[in-house]
């Protein structure tokens, strides 16, 4: 295979699928990770010039590490790992749910760090290797909603920056911090259209912009350890609640 390879976790649906299509269009071989969305992943792979589907439960640390080792043994030019899969379950700053917290910490922070470590230990690419950890703009624009999710993304951010301190040569580790992109949790599309414009530019950031940023980080010269915000300036605001609830409060007032 002459194509550079990328693994996108959670690549079968939503933002992950958009990223998969962008990498494929740019000439990459794409490994599409899924857990329960095998049918969607296979359908997506069938539409692309060079793709495969890999599957594991990211709550299973051994399975996640084995998936990385298996791919590393087969991909001669594995240039990029994109950790985009995440759990986004609600709990609050006054009522932490221990099970929600444990799941988020494992899937959103610990396992992505483990996969990055395994990737650097086993994967090969003469052009240098890249890890892109998807975080969230809300780490710079904190609010008390989705408490465990935000804690886990903060841990993922710190872990990525620590990994970047260890990476050398042509290896790079980045964080990519999106703003509100797609309808999430219990939002309707109408609510998302309004809430996702709550940023400095009063526009809805597109999923394609996030995918473009991933491709830039995978191919570009940006120094390791940096965070790229793609959020139409949302992280520069001071929003006391998640935009899901801000939009509902505005409509109710």
**Mean pLDDT score, 224-247:** 97
- Return the minimum-mean-pLDDT range out of 51-55, 211-215, 248-252: 248-252
pLDDT at residue 177, as a whole number: 98
**Mean pLDDT score, 11-26:** 98
Here the CATH number for the domain that contains residue 35 is 3.40.50.720
Q: Which domain holds residue 148?
A: 5-252
Full 3-state SS string of 91-157: CECCECCHHHHHHHHHHHHHHHHHHHHHHHHHCCCCCCCEEEEECCHHHCCCCCECHHHHHHHHHHH
Instruction: Say if residue 1's pLDDT is above 90.
Output: no
**pLDDT tens, position by position, 105-118:** 999 999 999 999 99
**Mean pLDDT score, 128-148:** 97
Instruction: Say if residue 185's pLDDT is above 90.
Output: no
Between 154 and 95, residue with greater pLDDT: 154
**Mean pLDDT score, 42-67:** 98
pLDDT at residue 253, as a whole number: 82
Q: How many domains does the chain contain in total?
A: 1
pLDDT at residue 148, as a whole number: 97
Distance CA 106, CA 103 (A): 5
65 sits in which H/E element: helix 61-74
Which pLDDT band holds residue 199 (cuts at 50, 70, 90)?
very high
**pLDDT tens, position by position, 143-175:** 999 999 999 999 999 999 999 999 888 999 999
Full 3-state SS string of 185-235: CCCCHHHHHHHCCCCCCCCCCCHHHHHHHHHHHHHCCCCCCCEEEECCCHH
């Amino acid at each position: 295979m002459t194509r550079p390879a990328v693994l996108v976790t959670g690549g079968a649906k939503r933002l992950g699928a958009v990223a998969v299509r962008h990498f494929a269009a740019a000439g990459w071989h794409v490994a599409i990770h899924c857990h329960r969305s095998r049918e969607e992943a296979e359908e997506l792979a069938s539409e692309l010039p060079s793709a495969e589907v890999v599957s594991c439960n990211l709550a299973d640390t051994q399975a996640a590490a084995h998936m990385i080792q298996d791919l590393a043994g087969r991909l001669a030019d594995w240039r990029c790992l994109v950790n985009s899969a995440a759990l986004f379950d609600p709990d609050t700053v006054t009522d932490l749910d221990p099970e929600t917290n444990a799941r988020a910490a494992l899937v959103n922070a610990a396992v992505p760090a483990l996969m990055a470590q395994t990737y650097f230990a086993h994967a090969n690419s003469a052009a240098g290797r890249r890890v892109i950890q998807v975080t969230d703009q809300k780490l710079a624009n904190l609010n008390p909603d989705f408490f465990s999710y935000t804690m886990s993304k903060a841990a993922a951010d710190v872990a990525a920056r620590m990994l970047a301190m260890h990476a050398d040569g042509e290896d790079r580790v980045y964080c990519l911090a999106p703003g509100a992109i797609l309808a999430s949790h219990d939002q309707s599309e109408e609510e998302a259209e309004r809430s996702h414009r709550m940023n400095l530019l009063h526009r809805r950031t597109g999923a394609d912009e996030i995918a473009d940023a991933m491709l830039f980080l995978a191919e570009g010269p940006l120094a390791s350890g940096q965070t790229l915000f793609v959020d139409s300036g949302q992280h520069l605001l001071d929003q006391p609640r998640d935009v899901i609830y801000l939009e509902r409060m505005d409509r109710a007032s």
